[in-house]
Chain A
Amino acid sequence: MTPLALKLGATVLTLVSLAGSTTFVVRHVKNAEAPLHPSVVKVAGEAGPALQPRTRLHLEPSVRTTDQQAPLTFTYVS
């Protein structure tokens, strides 16, 4: 009886595994139309809306700047 029981158990296990695998594959069918990569939203070098700078500086030509001298003081909110 024992060999027969083992054969029967192995057969049942095989059938259950087959049924489970089939169910999983059926529920997860690959979409043949799906793109392989995300679509390209912007081509490098393509003109787009300019980003607004976080700060804006404007100086009349009469106002010179320097990188050579450290500021002695600065203007600030008090």
Chain B
Amino acid sequence: MDLGPARLEEGASFVREMHRRLTRFDPESDLSRFNASAGRWVGVSELLATLLREALRAHEVSGGLVNAGVLPAMLAIGYTRDFAEGPTVLTTPEPHIPAPLPDVLEVRGELARLAPGAGVDLGGIAKGWLADRLAERLGENALVNLGGDLYARGEGPDAEGWPVGFGERTVLLRDAGAATSGTERRRWGEGLHHLIDPRLGLPARSDLAEVSVIADTAADAEIFAKTALLLGTGRAEEFLTGRSRGWWMR
């Protein structure tokens, strides 16, 4: 609230800088250079080390369903470039089942190692984490939304919480994150979309099309939403109970 233009521009600049360093679509980014070094220990930036550890945490929390090591599977189904550059190439998907992330990724301080042939896509993990960090930078009362992953910090405009659209309702969030995972966006063919199920090594075939979650942080909300979507209707609610503050699914 009441953030001046300079402060907002500072926040936007922070996001652009993070994107530049963490995107897999730029061969010069921290992430791309790390992926290119697979097979040996290399020094990584503090930022990348933190996010690689976050990816390992996401893997553990999700029981292996949120696996940042799905990059080879993403490339195999044709997701080879940023969607902003137009539709990706239509391919016949070949399954690439990734190994459990802790088996192919090690992080020690600011040293890290990927197993040969492995690759990491930080995708939603970075988005949720960044929403949390940006909200911290913007002060005690701020609402951040990075492509649907959001964090509401403080009491909001009327001291009742920040009004946020959640499913078909408006909720008042205070010191909480929210995120949505789904299979209906970023599609480029029948059964071809960006959300990989690491059990299949292929785009997910869940009976859920979309899951939104409220959690303590945007990072957690992102992990929980993706996990619930991959689990499907049978087990999603059981997984979310006790972890999240709320959910909406269809």
Contacts and interface: CB of A to CB of B under 8 A. Distances in A.
Given A59-B245, A75-B164, A77-B180, A64 B172 contact: yes
A48 interface: no
A78 B164 contact: no
In the A-B complex, the 6 residue pairs with the smallest Cβ-Cβ separation, listed nearest first, are: A74-B165, A78-B147, A71-B165, A77-B182, A59-B246, A76-B148
B169 interface: yes
A44 interface: no
A58 B237 contact: yes
A27 interface: no
B15 to A, nearest CB: 13
Contacts of B182: 77
Given A59-B214, A64-B172, 18 more contacts: A57-B248, A58-B240, A58-B248, A59-B245, A63-B245, A64-B161, A64-B171, A65-B171, A69-B172, A71-B163, A72-B143, A73-B150, A75-B145, A75-B165, A75-B179, A77-B148, A77-B185, A78-B148
Contacts of B103: none
B83 to A, nearest CB: 9
**Which bucket holds chain B's interface residue count?**
35 or more
Contacts of B176: 63
A75 B166 contact: yes
Contacts of B150: 73, 75
Contact of A56 (B161, B172, B244, B249): B249
Nearest to B245: A60
B167 interface: yes
Interface of B: 127, 143, 145, 147-150, 157-158, 160-173, 176, 178-182, 184-185, 210, 212, 214, 221, 237, 240, 244-250
A64 to B, nearest CB: 5
Interface string A37-74: 00000000000000000111111101111110111111
Nearest to A73: B145
Contacts of B179: 75
29 contacts: A54-B250, A55-B249, A55-B250, A56-B248, A57-B168, A57-B169, A57-B247, A57-B248, A58-B248, A59-B169, A59-B214, A63-B214, A63-B245, A64-B160, A64-B171, A65-B172, A66-B160, A71-B164, A72-B143, A74-B164, A74-B165, A74-B166, A75-B149, A75-B178, A75-B212, A75-B221, A76-B180, A77-B185, A78-B148
